[in-house]
């Protein structure tokens, strides 16, 4: 397989292009570790590392073994996607840890819109090595979980909790999920403060999610994503002298948004704050590149600087709208030390260990036999329209609007209903396929979003 795309030498957004929504980031010893949602794809929870915030290297996913978490029942309903949503990554060293014994924590939710929500924590001492713990389950019915490690080593869980549905399954008008908090034991997932308690609300009484807590200069700062993850998406900030609130509203909320504008970068929201090793603050956030009402690469990871006023409130992106050009109000991090892994780009090559490879839902690895730059794939009854379970599919995220992809296919069907080829795939509802089908010489072109199918007879 060949996969080429355009590259730019000047620092610009998105810093991680293509399907990389819901970013969360930490900096440890001069290395940045960033995680994203993966929805219905395996490995679950993508992980990238960088030394300069611009060049990112993919690692193994935070769940890279089968049997721990299943997304086989996760489907797409309209534009709502189920599966692995909104991870948060944090790093903590207790008073008994030395520098090499700190631990990374990733907390996330596996959700089905039918009501099932599976919240869990996985840990590691080295995300680059990619050996993560088994998931630790947390009894929480909601989405967008986060962790805050206080200076006294207490750990607090925040999340967006769904209200209990009445017997008829219909929520009263105006009843929305709420941001809640509880103290937890991160080693067991057990709450140490009883049931989750209300913490913050959206500033306008709307939909709030994606909560994070930070401590700076004696203030606990709360960050939220508000008003959905589409065109009205935004970032809001709050603060309190107590971890339990009450929280006051940032005087200029929302602190980051593109709504009501004709900017190319839209849907800005679901951010996370972090510091680099020089003490500068940054935010990563999701956004889309909107063109003619479409954003074919989905939600991508963008970066902006964050500065602090004398009154203790943060300013995102120098008060400007997020654009493709980075707003350089402060220097980018300087690489602390040479690292071959962190300076070697990873291309879309067909090798079984390539961290850019993704599989649909819970893959059946017995369907794939790897060779030198090639793979033999055994077909399954499930095809690309099948809403649940896995298909015989190997994927790469498209990371550029201008890309060229080619693949050599040797097809040996045993029946007329078998098919092999190449697909530009979003989900079971939206994909464009070029394939060879059955014991014929027909090449089939299928566009599921437009409901079109065209067969062209090949010559020779």
Six token digits for residue 56: 């990112």
- Triad 338, 56, 342: Cα angle to 5°: 25
Burial of 346 (C-beta count, 10 Å sphere; 0-12/13-18/19+): middle
The DSSP output letter for 286 is E
Query: Cβ contacts of residue 191 below 8 Å, gap of 6+?
Result: 139, 157, 182, 183, 184
Burial of 194 (C-beta count, 10 Å sphere; 0-12/13-18/19+): exposed
Yes or no: say if 5 and 402 are a contact pair by the CB < 8 Å rule. yes
Yes or no: say if 429 and 75 are a contact pair by the CB < 8 Å rule. no
For 319, phi then psi, to 5°, come to 75, 10
Neighbours of 386 (CB within 10 A): 15
Instruction: Choose, from 22, 272, 300, 348, the residue flagged as catalytic.
Output: 22
Residue 209 catalytic? yes
* 184, β-bridge pairs: 191
CA-to-CA separations, 229 to 21, 93, 97, 107, 335, in angstroms, rounded: 10, 33, 38, 20, 34
Burial of 6 (C-beta count, 10 Å sphere; 0-12/13-18/19+): exposed
Q: Which of 278, 259, 279, 260 is nearest to 269 (CA)?
A: 259
Instruction: Choose, from 144, 209, 276, 348, the residue flagged as catalytic.
Output: 209
Yes or no: say if 436 and 420 are a contact pair by the CB < 8 Å rule. yes
- Look at strands 41-42 and 442-447 and give their pairing: unpaired
Strand order in the sheet with 41-42: 41-42, 358-360, 394-395
Residue 22 catalytic? yes
Query: Cβ contacts of residue 407 below 8 Å, gap of 6+?
Result: 1, 2, 422
Strand order in the sheet with 314-316: 265-275, 281-289, 300-308, 314-316
Burial of 240 (C-beta count, 10 Å sphere; 0-12/13-18/19+): middle
For 389, phi then psi, to 5°, come to 75, 180
Catalytic (active-site) positions: 22, 209
């Amino acid at each position: 397989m060949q996969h080429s795309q355009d590259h730019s030498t000047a620092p610009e957004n998105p810093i991680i292009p293509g399907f990389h929504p819901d970013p969360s980031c930490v900096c440890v010893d001069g290395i940045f570790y960033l995680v994203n949602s993966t929805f219905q794809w395996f490995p679950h929870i993508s992980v990238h590392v960088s030394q300069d915030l611009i060049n990112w290297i993919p690692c193994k996913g935070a769940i890279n073994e089968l049997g721990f978490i299943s997304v086989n029942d996760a489907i797409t309903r309209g534009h709502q996607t189920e599966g692995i949503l909104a991870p948060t990554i944090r790093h903590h060293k207790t008073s008994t840890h030395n520098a090499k014994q700190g631990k990374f924590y990733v907390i996330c939710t596996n959700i089905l819109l039918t009501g099932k929500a599976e919240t869990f924590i996985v840990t590691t001492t080295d995300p680059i090595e990619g050996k993560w713990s088994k998931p630790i389950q947390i009894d929480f019915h909601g989405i967008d979980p986060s962790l805050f490690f206080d200076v006294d080593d207490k750990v607090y869980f925040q999340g967006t909790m769904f209200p209990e549905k009445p017997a008829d399954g219909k929520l009263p008008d105006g009843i929305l999920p709420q941001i809640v908090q509880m103290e937890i034991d991160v080693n067991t997932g057990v709450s140490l403060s009883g049931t989750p308690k209300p913490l913050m609300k959206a500033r306008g009484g709307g939909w709030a999610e994606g909560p994070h807590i930070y401590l700076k200069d004696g203030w606990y700062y709360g960050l939220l994503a508000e008003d959905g993850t589409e065109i009205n998406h935004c970032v809001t900030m709050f603060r309190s002298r107590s971890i339990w609130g009450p929280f006051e509203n940032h005087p200029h909320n929302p602190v980051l948004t593109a709504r009501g504008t004709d900017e190319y970068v839209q849907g800005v929201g679901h951010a996370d704050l972090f510091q680099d090793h020089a003490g500068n603050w940054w935010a990563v956030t999701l956004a889309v590149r909107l063109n003619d009402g479409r954003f074919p690469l989905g939600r991508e990871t963008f970066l902006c600087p964050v500065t602090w006023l004398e009154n203790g409130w943060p300013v995102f992106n120098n008060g400007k709208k997020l654009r493709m050009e980075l707003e350089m109000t402060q220097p980018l991090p300087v690489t602390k030390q040479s690292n071959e892994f962190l300076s070697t780009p990873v291309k879309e090559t067909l090798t079984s260990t390539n961290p850019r490879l993704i599989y649909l839902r819970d893959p059946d690895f017995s369907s794939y036999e790897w060779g030198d730059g090639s793979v033999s794939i055994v077909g399954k009854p499930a095809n690309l329209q099948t809403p649940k379970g896995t298909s015989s599919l190997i994927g790469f995220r498209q990371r550029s609007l201008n890309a060229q992809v080619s693949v050599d296919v040797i097809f040996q069907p045993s029946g007329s209903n078998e098919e092999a080829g190449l697909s530009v795939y979003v989900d079971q509802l939206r994909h464009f396929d070029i394939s060879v089908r059955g014991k014929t010489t027909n090449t089939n072109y299928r566009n599921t979003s437009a409901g079109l199918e065209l067969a062209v007879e090949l010559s020779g």
